[in-house]
Each structure stands twice: as C-alpha cells, then as structure tokens.
Amino acid sequence: MRTLGWFAVLIVVCLYASGIGAAEGLFEYPCGLSDLHDADQSCWVGMGPSGDYPVAVVPERWLVGCPPSALSAVTIPEDHWVDLLFSGGILNASGHDLELTESGMAGEQAIIFLTDGLDREYVVGMAQAEDALKQGISYINLDFPDIEVPFTPRGLRLVAVDYGGMSPGFDLGAAQIRVSRVCGPQARFPTPVAGAGNVPVDVNLVWVPACEAGRQCLYLSKVKSLVEAGDAGVRHWVDPPDANSFAPPALQLGETYYWRVDKVSQTDANDVLPGQLWSFTVADELLIESFDQYDGWVGPFLHETWSARGRGRTSLEIEGVFHSCQQSLILSYYYDSLQFSEAYRHFNPPQDWTQMGAGVLRLWLTGDSGNATSGPMYLTLSDGQVEQSVIYSGDMDVLTQLDWTPWHVALTEFTDVNLARVETLTLGFSWPSAQAPQYGEGIVFVDDIALCPPLCLDALRPSADLTCDCAVDYEDLEELAADWLAEVTDAGPIAAPNEPILWYPFEGNTRDNISLAHGQIQGRPTYDRGVRGQAMCFLNRGDAVTVPDANEVFADVRSAITIAFWQKGNDSGHLNDTLCCSNYSYGVSNPSIAVHLGCWQNPGQYRWDCGTPWSFQNRLAGRHRAKSEWAERWNHWAFTKDIRVGAAGEKGVMRIYRNGVLYDSRTGTDAPIEGITSFTIGSGWYGCYDGMIDDFRIYDYALSGPEVAYLASDGTGQLTHPNGLPADLDSSSKVDLRDFGVLADQWLTDQLWP
C-alpha cells in the first residue's frame, strides 16, 4: 500500500468556462487526494501522457489538478479506490454534476460516493464506461440524486467494482465536479477539511473568507483552549493578497492542531465575528527519500542525487523488490581491512531536521541470502563541517533475509552534528580490524528513508497501555472500564427466540429451514467449514444469494426486525462490504435494509441501515475499536430495530450485538420498514462481500439481549471472548480490581523512544 500524505501540498484548481452561472457553481478538478487504497499491495499503474500502458503512475500527480494529458489515466482495479478532495462545497444543480473520463470502452464500472473528505459518505451512483469493446475515451456524466446529507460534501470516492477492458480496471483519466465557493457569514470550506489526519508537515491552510471580510485573524495552536479563547499568543493576521491562505510555522510531526479564522469588519476593527473551530493532525513521518521519482530514460536520474564511494556501487531496483511502490536503491558492497563501500546523498540546500519534532531517522532494509555480512554497517550524517556515524547494533543477518526490516536511528546519537543544516546522509560498510581473509560482500536494498517523532516500540510499551500509544492515561482507563468484570468466558442470561421468518444454515445448499424461500445462487460461491457445519464462501465478483419472493418473506416486517449471522471476513479492499441488502438502484433508490462491515484495514467500520425512506437518521454506524475484533476470526452479529415505544419510553431503537454482547445502539430511528421487494446476501449497495457467512437468520421482531446471547452461544449462555481480554492485565481470565491496580501503578507512564 502506498503511504500518502493527506492531500497534495500544492493546491491546484483548473476551472473551465461551461456557461454555468455563479450561483450553480463551476466545474473543478480535484485539489488533492485524501485517501488511496491498494487492496492487493501492488503498485499504481496506468496510461502515460502519450497513452502508453502500463506505466508507473503517481495518483496524486495524475489526478490532482489538470491531468498530464487527455490520454493519461490511473488504473483502479477491483477493490481499489481513490478519494478526491475539492476546495469548495460540492453542489447538486440542474444538469449533470460530475464529469469523468475513462480510458476504455469495455463496460468498466465504479461506485461513486460523495464524502465529507473523511469517513462520512453517501452513494450517489454507478459510473460505467461505454461497452463498445474497443479502446477509446469514455465520457461519463452523473446527475446527483436529491438527498439531504448531514455534512457538507467535499470529496468524491471512486471504488472500482469489476475488471474490464485491457488494463484491467477502471482507468480514471480526469474528474471534474460542480463546486461552490460562495462566501458565508463565517469563513468556510477549510483545506485540510476539519478533522483531517496524515496532513503534510508543510501544509498550506486554505479557506473561503467570510463575506465582506476586511482583515482576518487566524488562531492556530496544539492547545484547543487557546484557539477557543482567541489567545493573542497564537494569533496571526491575514491581510490581502493572502486573503484565504496561511503557511503555518514549524508544525510538529504527529501532533493535532486547532485553528479558526475570524472575520474583522471592513469599517470597524473592533467588530470581530469568530469563525468555526477546525482541526487537523500532522502525518507521523516526513519521507526524505522514496526512490520512486527517478527514471532510467528521461530523468531525473538516480546518479544525479545518489553517489557511491570506495567499492560501493548504486543502482535502481525496478524489478519488484521495494518496501513501497515503485522502486528502491541497490547498494552493492565489498569491504575488508583496506576497503570500504558507501552510498551517500548530498542535500542542496541543507535540510533542517530540528523544526518538526523529529526524534528518529528510519530507513527500511532487506538483502540477499548470499550476502556475507561479518562486520559493521553504519549511517553517517554531516553538516558540512562535522560528520558523525552510528553503528547498526542489531543482528547483521537481517541482510541475508528477504523481509524488510526497519533501522531506527535516534537523532540524539548525533551530538556533534548541527541537525539544523544536514548536508549529507551516508550508508556504508567497513571493517578496519579485519584479518585476511575476512570480508563482507553482497547487495542491500534501501527504501523509504523518513524522519519520525519519538516512537512507541512494542519492546518498551507498558503492559497497561491498552491503546498502544506508549502512554497509560484516561484512554486506557476507558478500555478497562469497557471490559470491567468481564471474564474470558461469561455466563449470562439466555432465552430461546421465536421462530425466524428466514433461516439459511448454508449446509452445502441454500435451503430455507422455515419455508420454501430457498436462496437462489448467483456467481460461483462455494462452501467451507463454518461455525456449525458448513458456511457459504463469497470469494468471486458476483457471488451472492438472493431471496425469492422477498415481498412475501418480509410481508409482516413493518415495525421491527433482527438480522443475525456468523461472519468471517477476508481482507477486503472495499471501504465497507455489503453483507446483505434490500432492493436498491444506484442514484435512483436506496435500500431500506443494509448491513455493511469493513474488513480491510485497522480499524474496520460497521454500518446498519434500516428504514423507509433511507436516511442518515436511520443509520447506526461507527468504527471497531481494534482490528482484533474482526480480523481473521468468526464473529456472531445481530442487527435489530424496533420503532415501537419500549419499556423505558424510548422509540425507534437500533442495536448491534457482537458475540452476544451489545456493541452499539441509538434511539430515534423511527422510520418504518416498507417496500421490500428484493433481498440479497453477499452483495449490494457498497459492493461485494469477501468472506464467509454461516447460520443466516431474519426475525420479524427485535430480539432481546438474552435471545441474541442464546444464538451466539448455541443455547449455552457461555459467551467466550475468542481473543481473550486485553484489559486482563494480571492474566486471571477476568477484569477486576487487580487489573485496575496494575493500570494505576503505571498511571501516566510514558515510554516513547528515544
């Protein structure tokens, strides 16, 4: 997976005259990328400026601003996606709202989402290239449906859902969307968007000023209260011509910053209208060298930046040995008592490594099984006057292994070098004390040299650090409280539920154990060992099970429902996988029922949609607390909704249970469940599901907690935590006062290195 800064530092806006009035907005190319996902950890390829394929591409260059050419494109295979960011609010007006080009005419498809630039999203349609079975440019226009969303759309997510054409994949050439940057009473449309993470350390803050703003004052600080109070110590005046941008001084790696922009009246300097409070978090590394920018044909060339000394030789690795896409450095070395080998880079101008809170220099290394590695490897820094070396203290045999290994070097080791003006970085091998015939010889691959803040290393982490941030604080206390008095095996109350209205055990078939609504198989799903007997495996694009005569199955489902099943997901590339879904049509009708689980990266997401018509008010959603909650394991899930008034007076309750325990809930979701004319398992609104499902059941009422526990425990009431209890700090198989004592003893311990 490519590591991407939150968005391209350069804000590029290309507008074209389209005859659209200012009130409707102008079409705009993306100003940045907020996310990229490469599901199979391959590298991004696509069409070059002259249309040749395949060539290595950098999506943040190909898709941000004007494209390199009308023929260039980024190939987005199935289960990959790109998140494009725009500098204003995305509009829905008369006529089409989105224009895409796709370099192919073979019916390639992609799901299109509007997003807030972060997690919140809404499906607006399906983009499909022309199906002419020839090579050429498809021009795709989408008209967004009328829908109220509880966020200002700032981004566009494009998720490829099938292979097509010769690439294979959806070959995105350009995206233009209708955007408004109309001013309001306060400054608006911040870039980075509020809450953004992984923001570059040298980001430029951009916004749309308030209407009729004269002078503006911007507050920026890591301390939220100082910005909220308008403290003069964190105030910066913004005057024309820089009326909507600000270059922050010396941001720190990994830190969260708060900012706001106040409007100052044009006529009265004392008339100040405070702006909204925004925040962003800086990336936790600054990449110094990725080796991806070098080209062997047209330049820039490796030898223009990296040189060798002694018996060292440098070259560019382009055959697939890299830590991250697309290339790495090869250092061929030989050293003995008289000779040495070095590769070095000279920085011009010198780099200042003191301003962003860096504490560690990290580089990734791998080698070859035939390497001779007796003797030291070292890293040297020079400020032009003084140079100082640090010897690798680990096992040199890592250079005989094919796995990438990080070398963390504390900057505090370089006590004699002026880190404010680093001129040269050198990696070398020497053995001045060697005796004939002792020597070292081989090749080492180097990639992704970066500066990092002090690190949280597992070897130093306190045992009570449940959140893995190397600090024992209130967040760890919250994790312990969530498991308070839990045991590895809990015995709780159970109650047998009533008969479901649909029950697919998936015992080698899709028979319904309740009636004759036997599932109809689509695609090529298979069967494998499940929790109880066999389970259905959804592995291929198009694998699904549809419920026949769904309108009859759901005829009595109006005010309450439960969907329960066992699930084990693969490492899917979708942002969310749809496990089951009622009738829908992209951009036309939304599902009344849909269950989505993210099973791809840490942390995963969950979405429970239930209600007619679909709305964000009838959605229960969030993120898993830890990858261990879903990765590579079976979970029992139950999703319930009841729009009737409950015993406690609540109405419209939606709940999610995981392994028999309440996981999340909300009230006020009182839209009825109507119009179910089709129902699909294994595919739907957000795309295909990758993984297994066992014992799928639907009930026409909301199961109680004991009833869900009955299903999750096979009627025993013994609910087992498959991965144990992280908060069981004393290994007693339960979380109690003894574990609290361990946490209290380590309270406010901080073990960051160095």
Cβ–Cβ under 8 Å, residues 622 and 664: yes
366 phi and psi, to 5 degrees? -150, 165
Q: How far apart are CA 596 and CA 576, in angstroms?
A: 6
Residues 631-660: pLDDT tens digits?
778 999 999 999 988 777 788 999 999 999
Structure confidence at residue 158 (pLDDT): 93
Q: Which span out of 89-93, 349-353, 721-725 was modeled with the highest average pLDDT?
A: 349-353
| pLDDT band of 569, cuts 50, 70, 90 | confident
Is the pLDDT confidence value at 571 over 70? no
CA–CA distance, 544 with 685 (Å, rounded to integer): 13
Strand 73-76 relative to strand 377-382, pairing: unpaired
> What band does 166 get if pLDDT is binned at 50, 70 and 90?
low
Rounded to 10°, the helix 474-482/737-745 angle is 170
* Residue appearing with tokens 């099973």: 599
User: Is pLDDT above 50 for 148?
Assistant: yes
pLDDT band (50, 70, 90) for residue 23: very low
Q: Does pLDDT of 191 surpass 70?
A: yes
Confidence of residue 573 (pLDDT cuts 50, 70, 90): low
For residue 697, give Cα distances in angstroms to 29, 559, 563, 685, 708. Answer: 46, 18, 6, 20, 11
Please state the rounded mean pLDDT for residues 484-488: 81
Give the mean pLDDT of 565-590. Answer: 83
pLDDT at 723: 60
DSSP strands (E only) in 367-478 = 377-382, 387-391, 405-410, 422-429, 440-452
So what's the pLDDT on residue 14?
A: 36
Q: Regarding predicted confidence, which is higher, 692 or 148? A: 692
Which run of H or E residues covers position 474?
helix 474-482
Q: Are 316 and 331 in contact (CB under 8 A)?
A: no
Dihedral of alpha carbons 220, 221, 226, 228, sign: positive
For the cut 50, the answer to whether the pLDDT of residue 11 exceeds it is no
The residue behind tokens 């980024």 is: 74
More confident of the two residues 220 and 56 = 220
Domain 292-452: what homologous superfamily? Galactose-binding lectin (2.60.120.430)
Cα 305 from Cα 320, distance rounded (Å):
22
* Three-point CA angle 713, 716, 719, nearest 5°: 45
Which two tokens mark 264? 């100052």
What is the pLDDT, as a whole number, of residue 16?
Answer: 32
What is the rounded distance in angstroms from the CA atom of residue 252 to the CA atom of residue 234? 15
Residue 580 has pLDDT above 70, yes or no: yes
Check residue 400 and give its pLDDT: 93
Q: According to the model, what pLDDT value does residue 373 have?
A: 85
Spatial contact of 263 and 275, defined as CB atoms under 8 Å apart: yes
pLDDT at 163: 61
Q: Which uninterrupted H or E stretch holds 196?
A: strand 196-199
Q: What is the pLDDT averaged over residues 3-23?
A: 34
- Residue 184 is predicted with a pLDDT of 92
**How much of the chain exceeds pLDDT 90, in percent?**
64
Q: What was the pLDDT predicted at 5?
A: 41
* Residue 641 backbone phi and psi in degrees, to 5: -150, 140
Please give the Cα distance from 687 to 573 (Å, whole number).
Answer: 10
Given a cut of 70, whether residue 15 has pLDDT beyond it is no
CA dihedral 267, 272, 273, 274 (to 10 degrees): 150
Is the pLDDT assigned to residue 363 strictly greater than 80?
Answer: yes
* Range list of H helices, 160-258: 224-229
Mean per-residue pLDDT, 324-339? 91
DSSP code, position 604 = P
Instruction: Give the whole-angstrom CA distance, residue 465 versus residue 485.
Output: 19
Please give the residue that has the higher pLDDT: either 223 or 298.
223
Report the C-alpha gap between 415 and 418 in whole angstroms.
8
Which burial class, exposed, middle or buried, applies to 268 when counting CB atoms under 10 A from its CB (0-12, 13-18, 19+)?
Answer: exposed
Contacts of 130 (CB under 8 A, 6+ apart): 105, 107, 136, 138
Tokens of 204: 């430029």
411: three-class secondary structure by DSSP? helix
Overall CATH class of domain 491-720: mainly beta
Task: Give the model confidence (pLDDT) of 369-380 as tens digits.
Answer: 999 988 889 999
Which residue in the block uniquely carries the two structure tokens 């982490």? Answer: 461
> Mean pLDDT over residues 563-569, rounded?
95
Using CA atoms, how far residue 733 sits from 481, 736, 742, in Å, is: 15, 10, 15
Rounded CA separation 600/690 (Å): 10
Q: Which residues contact 392 (CB under 8 A, 6 or more apart)?
A: 376, 377, 378, 379, 407
Place of tokens 């890592």: 398
User: What is the residue-wise DSSP string for 164-191?
Assistant: -TTTTSEEEEEEEEEEE----SS-EEEE
Q: Is the pLDDT of residue 477 over 50?
A: yes
Q: 597, 619, 574: which is closest to 150 by C-alpha?
A: 619
pLDDT of residue 117: 93
- Rounded to the nearest 10°, the torsion over CA 517, 521, 527, 533 is 0
Q: Which two tokens stand for residue 181?
A: 């940057």
- Whether 674 has a pLDDT exceeding 70, the answer reads yes
In sequence order, the 6+-apart residues with CB closer than 8 A to the CB of 335 are 310, 311, 341, 375, 429, 430, 431, 434, 439, 440, 441
Q: What is the DSSP string of 556-569?
A: T-SSEEEEEEEEEE
Q: Give CA–CA dist 334/443, Å, rounded.
A: 9
Task: With beta carbons less than 8 A apart as the criterion, state whether 218 and 246 touch.
Answer: yes
Question: What is residue 13's predicted lDDT score, i.e. its pLDDT?
Answer: 37
Lowest-pLDDT range, 168-177, 240-249, 313-322?
240-249
Bond preceding residue 241 cis, omega within 30 of 0: yes
Q: How many whole angstroms separate alpha carbon 725 and alpha carbon 487? A: 8
Distance CA 637, CA 506 (A): 16
Give just the sign of the alpha carbon dihedral 692, 696, 701, 704.
negative
Question: In the predicted model, is pLDDT for residue 165 greater than 70?
Answer: no
Q: Quick one: how far is CA 496 from the chain centroid?
A: 40
Correct CATH for 188-284 of 2.60.40.10, 3.40.710.10, 3.90.226.10, 3.30.413.10? 2.60.40.10
Distance (Å, rounded) from C-alpha 488 to C-alpha 366? Answer: 40
Q: What are 193-220's pLDDT values in tens digits?
A: 999 999 999 999 999 999 988 889 999 9
What is residue 60's predicted lDDT score, i.e. its pLDDT? 87
What are the residue boundaries of the structural domains of the chain, listed by start?
26-180, 188-284, 292-452, 458-488+725-754, 491-720
Helices within 501-595 (DSSP H only): 550-553
- Residue 528 CA to residue 714 CA, distance in Å, equals 20
Quick one: CA dihedral 311, 316, 322, 325, positive or negative?
positive
Write down the residue that tokens 């430029």 correspond to.
Answer: 204
Q: Where are the alpha helices (DSSP H) in 364-473?
A: none
Average pLDDT over residues 475-503: 88
**pLDDT for residue 245:** 93
- What confidence tier does 131 reach under pLDDT thresholds 50, 70, 90? confident
Taking the CA atoms of 76, 81, 86 and 88 in sequence, report the sign of the dihedral they define.
Answer: positive
- CATH superfamily of the 458-488+725-754 domain: Dockerin domain (1.10.1330.10)
Give the contacts of 626 (CB within 8 A, at least 6 positions apart): 602, 603, 726
The confidence score (pLDDT) of residue 602 equals 60
Phi-psi region of 460 (alpha: psi -120 to 50; beta: other; left: phi over 0): alpha
Q: Do domains 26-180 and 491-720 have the same CATH topology?
A: yes
Across the range 405-429, mean pLDDT stands at 97
Task: Please state, in angstroms and rounded to a whole number, the distance separating the CA atoms of residues 69 and 678.
Answer: 44
* Alpha-carbon 499 to chain mean position: 40
Q: Where are the beta strands (DSSP E) in 453-604?
A: 489-491, 502-504, 520-522, 526-529, 534-538, 544-546, 560-569, 577-582, 593-597
In this structure, of 337-346, 363-372, 619-628, 732-741, the range with the lowest mean pLDDT score is 619-628
> Domain 26-180, CATH 3.40.50.2300 — does that match?
no
Strand order in the sheet with 377-382: 306-310, 341-351, 422-429, 377-382, 387-391
Mean pLDDT over all residues of the chain?
89
3-state secondary structure of 302: helix
